[in-house]
Structure 1
Amino acid sequence: MIALNKPLRPNITKLTTYLESVNESGWYTNFGPLHEQLTKRLEAYLGVKHLLLVANGTLAIQVACKTLNINSAITTPFSFVATTSALLWQGVNTAYSDINPQTYNLCPTALSNALAQDNSYDAVVATHICGNPCDVHEIQSVAEQYNKKIIYDAAHTFGVKLNGESILNFGDASTLSFHATKVFHTVEGGAVVFKNKADYEKAKQLINFGIKDGDELGEPGINAKLNEYQCAVGLTLLDDIEQVIKHRTALFNLYCSELKGVVKLQQWHSEASLNGIYVLIYIADEYLQHSIITALATENIQSRRYFTPSLDIAYSEQKNFGCNVSHTLTKGVICLPLHAYMTTEDVFQVTNLIKKTIQLTAVSS
């Protein structure tokens, strides 16, 4: 079987060494030594400052919103459900603006038109879909014009750079997911990278029940800390992350080479690096979609419809400013297998089967 995804398995010898150190110290959570070590190593590796580890990527979005005093936001309808559910759970008044049909990211022109209609929102929450950076400069220009804060859902963008700079350095905050399905993980976990140090310090209090130095209580907070056992997994996996990203990127490039001109592929930002987290294809014809998914499943190759339904349809009670592009894409996007344990032979098996199915479908029709 070729699995859609396989989480990275930490080296058990290295991991055990870290876990033994936790047991010896008896410091299992609450900003322990492994937490501080992972924070520093991630800041150095990613090229960022003010990185705050949290318990998961959903909490990362919620903590960013709470820290930046976001009560209302315009976001993308084309993303994993957590982007929206995190906002709604937090009580953020949420609306949707459409995406670019080539990049699949929030469209700056559509965003500008939406804000021209209704300028009451506090912020923009945009997702870098499949690690493909948004047009951050255009979104920044729109945000400045309308005086909005920006949060980037960067769950897919571990290690991605734009013109040599970490994509996490754009906006007022960027959130990461370290879920087991991601390029880098801590089993469950996440992080927020803040532009400003003051926001980072406020957020660090908020994720520890709002406790200030000593026992003084400040603004009500929550418990969103990452524990030492999970940090141990992160430290173990971080040792080999360069090789992992290099391999995944090679597989991604091979997919694109084999499928270019065969199916529609996501248009990548010309100035951005890759991390090989996901590969999406778009098939407009429903019969052909079904044929490809069925052919893959018959050969024990997993695939997934991603992301469906469009979030403005799933949460239809929320305002939207027209999301026709998202509606079209969610009806035809298929996510193909891609993970660190795949081989080039696996990619050829997937792509050859897709080509064969398209040819057979064309002949039968």
Structure 2
Amino acid sequence: MTNKLIPVTQPFLPELSEFIPLLEKIWDNRWLTNNGPFHQELEGKLCEYLGVEYVSLFNNATIALITALQAMRISGEVITTPYSFVATSHSIMWNGLAPVFVDIDPATFNIDPAKIEAAITPRTTAIMPVHCYSNPCDVEAIQKIADNYGLKVIYDAAHAFGVNYKGQSLLKWGDLSILSFHATKVFNTFEGGAIICPDAKTKQRIDCLKNFGISDELTVTAPGINGKMSEINAAFGLVQLKHIDKAMQQRQTIDECYRQALADVNGITLYQHDVHANSNFSYFPILVEADYPLSRDELYDKLKANNILSRRYFYPLISNMPMYRGLPSASMAHLPLANALADKVLCLPIYSDLTDSALSMIIECISRVD
């Protein structure tokens, strides 16, 4: 169908001419890292854009997740979802904690609050839910459980940049929320991430932890890590922020085209956005059901044969990976809905520069099965 490869995602890049003046400033002042002026400016601009009080920038979201667990002094067990990117549970393991998996809600693909309570033990100290594909978790139900049992809630909000829920930023729920600014995300800083903090004291602790635990020139108060975002990444983020609304609008147009064209394709189920939230259109997952002429993997192979890259995201489940599958909570019998979803899901290409012709080719490849 096409000789040109259509990737599953592609980063939005502004004109290079917008970025160069900021690079020149970095060259002039020779401040490359350690809370430089662009770093401080981006934190402030993100607070304004996202509607949150405090942001602490990181070199990537995985380090931010690891640090968030440290900042909240989490111990013992952390209840989480198996349906996520592996960094979610890796951050738990890196802290010497035990991930406990519970099943998902098949409508939202997020952790099912109804399953959380049964997984709580005397060793449980936190819940780490994931806002999957930018769809909000049932934040009210999760918070109620956390309040009843005295648990912390740390949201992996890697997919949730710019998402508002019932009139306020989704990132304000829980004790902390972690964003990803990886190149594959709607808003990117090449590599990067952030922790959304509720108050100045918490931000101060997080800022200390991401700088080796150094509190002043002579004092190290905690076993911190090097998680600081560089000035180059922060400068790029400032340029990106000027274009983010347009980029999300372009993604929305693609999302609407997919929905219109694929709505009546037998055997294809479309993921539904939460009516109480705005999507950032970061992903376009479909479910390949049993009555579709091809299996999910056969459709994946067909698209690939036509130079169209899709992604089985998330597959395999975290709970089925070698380092986790021995956990009691990782058994397939314990997670039937997550396992079923992982076997059906396929994320289609969606990014700002996806052309109309490429979009038509993808739709035709799915709609016409010879």
TM-score scaled to structure 2, two decimals? Answer: 0.92
Work out whether residues 94 and 319 of structure 1, in 8 Å CA contact, stay in contact via their aligned partners in 2: no
Work out whether residues 80 and 129 of structure 2, in 8 Å CA contact, stay in contact via their aligned partners in 1: yes
Letter of the structure 2 residue corresponding to residue 353 of structure 1: C
Q: What per-residue deviation string (whole Å, max 9, x for no partner) do you get for residues 37-84 of structure 1? A: 111111101111111001101011011000001122010000011111
- The whole-number CA distance in structure 2 between the counterparts of 1:354 and 1:48 is 41
Which of 125, 135, 139 in structure 2 is aligned with 1:136? 139
Work out whether residues 56 and 195 of structure 2, in 8 Å CA contact, stay in contact via their aligned partners in 1: yes
Instruction: Give matches, 1:284-323, under 5 Å.
Output: 284-285=289-290, 287-314=294-321, 315-320=324-329, 322-323=334-335
Instruction: Give, in angstroms, the shift of residue 295 of structure 1.
Output: 2.5
Q: What per-residue deviation string (whole Å, max 9, x for no partner) do you get for residues 230-251 of structure 1? A: 1111111111111001111221
Work out whether residues 100 and 119 of structure 2, in 8 Å CA contact, stay in contact via their aligned partners in 1: no
Structure 1 residue 104 corresponds to structure 2 residue 95: no
SS at match of 2:25: helix
Structure 1 residue 208 corresponds to structure 2 residue 214: no
Structure 1 residue 343 corresponds to structure 2 residue 355: yes
Work out whether residues 172 and 196 of structure 1, in 8 Å CA contact, stay in contact via their aligned partners in 2: no
Work out whether residues 176 and 191 of structure 1, in 8 Å CA contact, stay in contact via their aligned partners in 2: yes
Work out whether residues 269 and 289 of structure 2, in 8 Å CA contact, stay in contact via their aligned partners in 1: no
SS at match of 2:215: coil
- The whole-number CA distance in structure 2 between the counterparts of 1:298 and 1:331 is 20
SS at match of 1:123: strand
SS at match of 2:87: helix
SS at match of 2:31: coil
- The whole-number CA distance in structure 2 between the counterparts of 1:211 and 1:269 is 42
- The whole-number CA distance in structure 2 between the counterparts of 1:195 and 1:345 is 45
- The whole-number CA distance in structure 2 between the counterparts of 1:145 and 1:257 is 43
Letter of the structure 2 residue corresponding to residue 298 of structure 1: A
SS at match of 2:285: strand
Work out whether residues 58 and 229 of structure 2, in 8 Å CA contact, stay in contact via their aligned partners in 1: yes
Letter of the structure 2 residue corresponding to residue 290 of structure 1: D
Aligned partner of 1:363 in structure 2 is none
Which of 174, 179, 183 in structure 2 is aligned with 1:176? 179
Instruction: Give, in angstroms, the shift of residue 131 of structure 1.
Output: 0.8
Letter of the structure 1 residue corresponding to residue 198 of structure 2: K
Which of 182, 186, 189 in structure 2 is aligned with 1:186? 189
Instruction: Give, in angstroms, the shift of residue 261 of structure 1.
Output: 4.4
Work out whether residues 11 and 236 of structure 1, in 8 Å CA contact, stay in contact via their aligned partners in 2: no
SS at match of 1:254: helix
Instruction: Give, in angstroms, the shift of residue 119 of structure 1.
Output: 4.2
Instruction: Give matches, 1:209-358, under 5 Å.
Output: 209-262=212-265, 263-285=268-290, 287-314=294-321, 315-320=324-329, 322-357=334-369
Instruction: Give, in angstroms, the shift of residue 183 of structure 1.
Output: 0.5
Which of 56, 67, 75 in structure 1 is aligned with 2:71? 67
Q: What per-residue deviation string (whole Å, max 9, x for no partner) do you get for residues 133-152 of structure 1? A: 11111111111122211011
Instruction: Give, in angstroms, the shift of residue 85 of structure 1.
Output: 1.2
Across the aligned residues of Structure 1 and Structure 2, the Cα RMSD in angstroms comes to 1.6
TM-score scaled to structure 1, two decimals? Answer: 0.94
Number of corresponding residues: 356
Work out whether residues 119 and 146 of structure 1, in 8 Å CA contact, stay in contact via their aligned partners in 2: no
Give the percent of matched residue pairs that are identical in Structure 1 and Structure 2: 35
Letter of the structure 2 residue corresponding to residue 31 of structure 1: N
Instruction: Give, in angstroms, the shift of residue 266 of structure 1.
Output: 2.2
Q: What per-residue deviation string (whole Å, max 9, x for no partner) do you get for residues 148-200 of structure 1? A: 11011010111111122111111000001111111011111100002233211
SS at match of 1:244: helix
Instruction: Give, in angstroms, the shift of residue 25 of structure 1.
Output: 0.4
Work out whether residues 71 and 205 of structure 2, in 8 Å CA contact, stay in contact via their aligned partners in 1: yes
SS at match of 1:305: coil
Unaligned runs of 5+ in 2: none
